[in-house]
Amino acid sequence: MTEPALIELDEVSKYYGNIRALEGVSLEVHAGEITCVLGDNGAGKSTLIKIIAGLHQHDAGSFSIEGEPARLAKPRDALDRGIATVYQDLAVVPLMPVWRNFFLGSEPTKGVGPFKRLDVQLMRETTRTELLRMGIDLRDVDQPIGTLSGGERQCVAIARAVHFGAKVLVLDEPTAALGVKQSGVVLKYVAAARDAGLGVVLITHNPHHAFLVGDRFVLLKRGRMSGSHTKGSVTLDELTRQMAGGSELDDLRHELERASGPGGDDPA
């Protein structure tokens, strides 16, 4: 008997008044797999994240967590069900040390009554150990997290989610503002989270990054699904073509060729 998907959306729709943000979107997230959601700005990726993260509720279709119907009322509900979301802007306090950001909102204490205080030593050691376990070797966990590169901050956020027991990790455009080398570092830790047994949802507009690590691919366009593939059923070229608009690109190329061809307005 196969294990139910950690998360399954079936024909999910979301409306804001007369505006259709999502319509008929389906996807599955399995343990030890990465499901990539691809789309340009306005494709519906942010709305999809908000439904999975408990910020918004879907208006139609079904949303299941480990085979049980779910309707998350708030982000805390998602966290309690093992769904951790790392947003593009990252919820970190730049001037606080790495270890403090790692435990932000979940700080362990020691002592009782008036002698109760933060267990700083435990937090430092745990942060260093958990980062190393994910293959992240920081020079100093006491340094302000704002001094880390964008890729390093993303990796700390991923390690934090793994440490606090996430079953599903949702990553919102983790490589969007990064260069090639930094993006490669982040993708390595995304793969490490998958190898640790998590189900990962990778939101991206970069088909090359998605194809490097993805097991499943869902393409969104103007709130609707424009494609759904597994790793072995699609090539990078086809994924890129669908992501870029496919037939629309072909039409545009013909238009441009006509405009600059014989009889066109090609400037001298």
What is the tens place of the pLDDT at every residue in 12-48?
999 988 888 999 999 999 999 999 999 888 888 989 9
Asked if residue 164 is part of any domain, the answer here is yes
Report if residue 138 sits inside a domain: yes
Boundaries of domain holding 27: 7-234
Distance (Å, whole) CA 214 – CA 7:
16
Structure confidence at residue 177 (pLDDT): 78
Across all residues in the chain, what is the average pLDDT?
87
Which pLDDT score, from 0 to 100, does residue 17 have? 87
pLDDT for residue 81 is more than 60: yes
Specify the pLDDT at position 264: 54
Does residue 92 lie within any of the structural domains? Answer: yes
Which pLDDT score, from 0 to 100, does residue 257 have?
74
Rounded CA separation 153/173 (Å): 13
**CA 169, 173, 177, 181 torsion: positive or negative?**
positive
Q: Residues 57-82: what's their mean pLDDT?
A: 91
Rounded percentage of the chain residues whose pLDDT exceeds 70 = 92
Compute the C-alpha angle 47/56/196, nearest 5°: 75
Asked whether the predicted pLDDT for residue 266 surpasses 90, the reply is no
Q: Is residue 257 part of a domain?
A: no
Mean pLDDT of 70-82: 91
> What's the structural domain count of the chain?
1
Residue 268: per-residue pLDDT: 47
Inside any domain, residue 221: yes
Using pLDDT thresholds of 50, 70 and 90, give the confidence band for residue 261: low
Residue 29 lies in a domain: yes
pLDDT level of residue 155 (50, 70, 90 thresholds):
confident
pLDDT in the model for residue 35: 95
Sign of CA dihedral 188, 5, 39, 89: negative
pLDDT at 259 over 70: no
- Average pLDDT of span 102-118: 86
Residue 258 resides in a domain: no
The arithmetic mean of pLDDT across residues 176-182, rounded, is 83
| CATH number of the domain within which 191 lies | 3.40.50.300
Read off the tokens for 70: 């779910």
pTM: 0.84
Q: How far apart are alpha carbons 220 and 44 in whole angstroms?
A: 7
Q: What is the pLDDT of residues 215-257, one digit of tens each?
A: 999 999 988 998 899 988 998 998 888 887 655 556 666 677 7
Per-residue pLDDT at 258 exceeds 80:
no
**Position 37 in a domain:** yes
Q: What is the DSSP string of the chain?
A: -PPPPSEEEEEEEEEETTEEEEEEEEEEE-TT-EEEEE--TTSSHHHHHHHHTTSS--SEEEEEETTEE----SHHHHHHTTEEEE-TT----TTSBHHHHHTTT---EES-GGG-EE-HHHHHHHHHHHHHHTT---S-TTSBGGGS-HHHHHHHHHHHHHHTT-SEEEEESTTTT--HHHHHHHHHHHHHHHHTT-EEEEEES-HHHHHHH-SEEEEEETTEEEEEEEGGG--HHHHHHHHHTTHHHHHHHHHHHHHHSTTS----
